[in-house]
Structure 1
Amino acid sequence: MSVASQPLGRRERNKQAKLERITAAASELFAEHGVDEVTTQQIADAADIGTGTLFLYAKTKGELLLLVQNAHYATALERGRTAAAEETSAVDAVVALLAPVVECNRVQVDNGRTYLREMVFGDPTEPHHAEALAIVGQTEEATAGILTQHAGLAEAEASTLARVISAIMFLGLAASVNVDSSIEEILASIRTQVAAILPR
């Protein structure tokens, strides 16, 4: 039996079970009340652990939000990849890729905006922050692949434009002026801006 296929020991299983309880408790409380209205004590109580144990898994409430949202973001990105594969134009494929991410971010608007703030200004050495940045990187790689395939751009140019498109999306989601904007309005704005920056 290889090392990779060996079952987890009891300690590792207990750690994984605690992490799953923390994630589930934080996800439910954040969705119901918003991240600003939830305390770490409430999350610890709902996960049936002590606050000291909670801080072993995430040092701040912002890290807890990253933990919860990263899983949702990764799932949304996979849905976007699938949808983008069905499109034939660069703009349509990029919007199809990003639409589930936008939808995910807008499930609870304040949580979505806080998530973006934590991603930009949080501690990059924290594991959940690093994971969030890795997911952003995967999104940009997928965007660059679309631009290479559908717009015929060289890899370097596609990568640069993918970062610009990422900034367009995040600014659209985080901007105070868009707090009351619908998902459709945000996606329409992203579509217009992406179409404007792609070479003709």
Structure 2
Amino acid sequence: MPAAPHKVGRRERNKQEKLDRITAAARELFAEHGVDEVTTQQIAEAADIGTGTLFLYAKNKGELLLLVQNSTYAEALIEGRNAAEDTPEILDAVMAIIRPVVVCNRKQVDNGRTYLREMVFGDPAEPHHRDALDLTVETEAAIAAVLGRDQATDPTTAAALAHIISAIMFIAMAPTINADRSIEDLLQEIRDQLRIVLAP
């Protein structure tokens, strides 16, 4: 006999509704003003909650940014995986995964760069930071799966190459010197490096 579906209680629904309001408020304010110009008080007011309640869901502004950006990164990764499935050439398929990740990171350049900094230097014990790190692992797994299409590339090599490719992508997006570069310029820089990395 199949198990009865889990019924979500009122308390869980209320928690999820508050989290959704916080995420929506932070996303809108960060997109409009940039993360550096927004306070946690503004986010709490926009979400119609107290600041103390806000800190139950994210302990600081960095964690709020991770919360917001993680959801768009996850959507971008799904889009990239789907595009890679329909792309036969390996370099093109890897770039199909990378493109939407770069695009989502560059929607608001300062937010994207701050997100990368939080991923590297944030507290790994915090749940939104852990989620961000999990997304990088998922990205590398998706890239390794594409590289594994080549019979000559064993799983260990594919995983190592995927780690290098992921680092190239993140390093291209992070530096101040690249802040004003277009998405297409960044993607071309990444592609040029990957052509060398993946050369037979």
Q: What's the TM-score once normalised by structure 1's chain length?
A: 0.97
- Find the aligned partners of 2:175 and 2:131 in 1 and give their Cα distance: 23
Contact 1:88 1:150 in 2 (8 A): no
Contact 1:89 1:150 in 2 (8 A): no
- Find the aligned partners of 1:129 and 1:191 in 2 and give their Cα distance: 28
- CA deviation map 1:16-45 (0-9, x unaligned): 000000000000000000000000000000
Contact 1:41 1:51 in 2 (8 A): yes
Q: What's the TM-score once normalised by structure 2's chain length?
A: 0.97
Counterpart in 1 of 2:32? 32
Q: What is the CA RMSD across the aligned residues, in angstroms?
A: 1.1
Counterpart in 1 of 2:114? 114
- CA deviation map 1:136-182 (0-9, x unaligned): 10000000011111474110001001010000000000011100110
- Find the aligned partners of 2:132 and 2:152 in 1 and give their Cα distance: 29
- What pairs with 1:94-173 in structure 2 (closer than 5 Å)? 94-150=94-150, 152-173=152-173
Counterpart in 1 of 2:3? 2
What's the CA shift for 1:85?
A: 1.1
| Structure 1 residue runs of 4 or more that deviate by more than 2 Å after TM superposition | none
Q: How many residues align?
A: 199
Say which SS state the counterpart of residue 149 (structure 2) adopts. Answer: helix
Say which SS state the counterpart of residue 153 (structure 1) adopts. Answer: coil
For structure 2, which runs of at least 5 residues remain unmatched after alignment? none
- Find the aligned partners of 1:34 and 1:196 in 2 and give their Cα distance: 36
Counterpart in 2 of 1:22? 22
Asked if 1:194 is matched to 2:194, the reply is yes
For structure 1, which runs of at least 5 residues remain unmatched after alignment? none
